[in-house]
Chains A and B, each alone.
Chain A
Amino acid sequence: MAEKLIMKRPDALTNKEFTYCPGCLHGVAHRLVAEILDELELTQNTIMVAPVGCSVFAYEFFNVDGTVAAHGRATAVATGIKRALPDKTVFTYQGDGDLAAIGTAETVHSANRGERFTTIFINNAIYGMTGGQMAPTTLEGMKTTTSPYGRDVHDVGYPVHVCELLQNLKGVAYLERVALFNPQQIQKAKKAIKKAFIAQQKGLGYSLIEVVSTCPTNWGQTPLESIEWAKDKMLAEYPLGVFVDRVGDDK
């Protein structure tokens, strides 16, 4: 019997090894996006925008045309690309500090304009690249290098819920929060990412997938501990689910 190929590295990933920390889930998220780009046959016509943050090198890992935006400006850059080349697939890949702190205005207005691109938003409640500072999504009481006594919500405000914030904007076509803490969640995340890109293909508006993730390095945990902690604490604050779906069930 002839050999049958059942799994391979997606064409949408380069051969460059990920430089992420052990146990970091960026690699899983990258792979899911890459698999969807291949499945939807978009890889040859995609342009990506990497952020400033841990995934600043994402443009080297994805085998698509790409650039790096200034911190927080990925959706503005993506707006410029998509408006220049409306027939191409465009996505941004951003962390919580990038998207929900310094880039809040760009995020809200890109969503509100219904820009026809997709954002993959990684929420791990911390600034990873700069060494574990408090993020807009840091949980109440959580200790970081700039909240050494724990996040005091009466002093610095509450964790920002990006999906809940964006769901009332009419420009949004698909909005879902997913997690990567077990195989079922990973399969669901992949389906969500697929729908987000389909929303873009159909020109329905802005699509964003919030991926609840971990940061074992800056959380001071082992990879397994970080997953258990995230299941318990992160998902209590950030419930999974579909917030906006204008795509429907057809493929």
Chain B
Amino acid sequence: MANDKIMMKGTEAMGEAAIRAGCHLYFGYPITPQSELPEYMSRRLPEIKGTFLQAESEVAAVNMVYGAACTGIRVMTSTSSPGFSLMMEGVSYIAGARLPAVFINVVRGGPGLGDIQPAQSDYFQATKGGGHGDYRLIVLAPSTLQESVDHIGLAFDLADHYRTPALIIADGMLGQMMEPVSLPEYTKKDLKATHEDWALRGRQQREKHMVTSFDIDPVKLEKMNEGYQATYKEIEHNEVRVEEYMMEDAEYAFVAYGTMARILKTTIKMAREEGIKVGLIRPITLWPFPYETIQKASDKCKFLMSVEMSMGQMLEDVRLGVNGKVPTPFYGRTGGVVPTPTEVLNALKKEMGV
């Protein structure tokens, strides 16, 4: 009964969605605020004869993901900020070896040990590299539990289609809250038949397959990089996802993603009751970023205000999109502090000079 809504905790709902998307292996290491996800997978994966393995570290976990992804079978891990930092080397290798895999980073306050409260201060890490080399991750940023669940299947499909890792960036709020969700049906795709042309499954009389992120010859390595970039161009062309909320008549625009965007919908209702015509641009893919939507908004809005649970990271992409046309003020809280609708409304009014 996939269409019936049930109450589930964010991390568990994401785990169940992954299993229904055909995820067969999970490797991870406990870290707050997402440990319920590995716990859930440790219960559920054996039921479908899949593999759950608690690694000795995030470093080991990401390399187990690399190994499993080499076989072309659906695999994922989840972690939170410090853990994702530890995984960065492996993520770079996975991108370089063109392996499909899904990551979830339930972002918490940083830098360093930080805290365990919701934050969005890993935007740079997610979208601008994090690991070494010219690589990109497809980055999905859900703002509700239902969207988190829907993004899991999407992330696996995109990762498989483009042979590139995909990251779902959530935060402790999405991970920890309970909401009614409608879970997807089990995938009907024939996943065993995918990736036959490159995956490591033993030669079986064919030519050997090699999966690496490596070429000692700079000219050949440059060619490999040109291959990655061609895929990234295709993704930029095909996969930008963005929600525009009350933007038709907007004189001012917020730009926000994830939990922050959800809070801003309340701010916008409050503002409109006072006659302030403000809307919201919500990037759903943080990479590829919806520069075009931002650019169009800058033709008609007096300013675009980036609001983040960070000290201003996505702001840089907003400014690239606006390209100096109108002001781009910023409001943010960090360290795990979540802005209230009222404080953002006050920040908006201050920028408007009212």
Interface of A with B (CB < 8 Å)?
14, 43-47, 49, 56, 59-60, 63-70, 73, 76-85, 88-89, 105-106, 109
Contacts and interface: CB of A to CB of B under 8 A. Distances in A.
Contact of A77 (B25, B63, B214): B63
Interface in B56-92: 56-57, 59-61, 63-71, 73, 75, 89-90
Contacts of A109: 55-56, 60
Nearest to A56: B214
B27 interface: yes
B97 interface: yes
Contact of A44 (B57, B205, B211): B205
Given A59-B212, A65-B208, A83 B60 contact: no
B63 A69 contact: yes
10 nearest CB pairs, A to B = A80-B67, A76-B63, A80-B68, A77-B67, A80-B64, A73-B63, A45-B202, A109-B56, A65-B200, A84-B71
B161 interface: no
B51 interface: yes
A83 B203 contact: no
B33 to A, nearest CB: 25
B53 interface: yes
B67 A66 contact: no
B60 A106 contact: yes
B203 A43 contact: yes
Contacts of B90: 70, 73
Contacts of A66: 200, 208-211
A60 B90 CA distance: 22
Contacts of A63: 203, 208
Given A46-B202, A84-B70, A105-B59, 7 more contacts: A14-B208, A47-B70, A68-B214, A69-B63, A76-B64, A77-B66, A83-B53
Interface of B: 24-25, 27, 51, 53, 55-57, 59-61, 63-71, 73, 75, 89-90, 93, 97, 200-205, 208-214
A76 B67 contact: yes
B102 to A, nearest CB: 14
A44 B60 contact: no
22 contacts: A45-B204, A64-B202, A65-B202, A66-B208, A67-B70, A67-B200, A67-B212, A68-B212, A69-B63, A70-B93, A76-B64, A77-B63, A79-B64, A80-B27, A80-B65, A80-B66, A81-B71, A84-B71, A85-B73, A105-B57, A106-B63, A109-B55
Nearest to A66: B210
A160 to B, nearest CB: 18
A77 B57 contact: no
B209 A65 contact: yes
B202 A67 contact: no
Nearest to B202: A45
Contacts of B70: 47, 67, 77, 80-81, 84
B197 to A, nearest CB: 13
A80 B211 CA distance: 14
B75 A106 contact: no
A201 to B, nearest CB: 14
Nearest to B74: A84
B302 to A, nearest CB: 49
Most chain B Cβ neighbours within 10 Å, of A49, A70, A78, A83: A83
B99 to A, nearest CB: 9
B206 to A, nearest CB: 9
Contacts of A65: 200-203, 208-210
A100 to B, nearest CB: 16
Contacts of B61: 76
Nearest to A11: B203
B60 A47 contact: no
Nearest to A48: B200
Given A70-B89, A73-B63, A109-B60, A79 B53 contact: yes
Nearest to A47: B200
Contacts of A45: 202-204
Nearest to B71: A84
Given A67-B97, A106-B56, A83 B63 contact: no
Contacts of A68: 212-214
A202 B307 CA distance: 58
Contacts of B69: 80
A65 B214 CA distance: 15
A59 B75 CA distance: 23
Nearest to A19: B216
B233 to A, nearest CB: 26
A46 B22 CA distance: 25
B208 A64 contact: yes
Contacts of B209: 65-66
A84 B51 contact: yes
A74 to B, nearest CB: 8
A43 B53 CA distance: 28
A142 B285 CA distance: 55
A45 B71 CA distance: 13
B280 to A, nearest CB: 41
Contacts of B214: 56, 68
B61 to A, nearest CB: 8
A67 B57 CA distance: 21
A78 B71 CA distance: 11
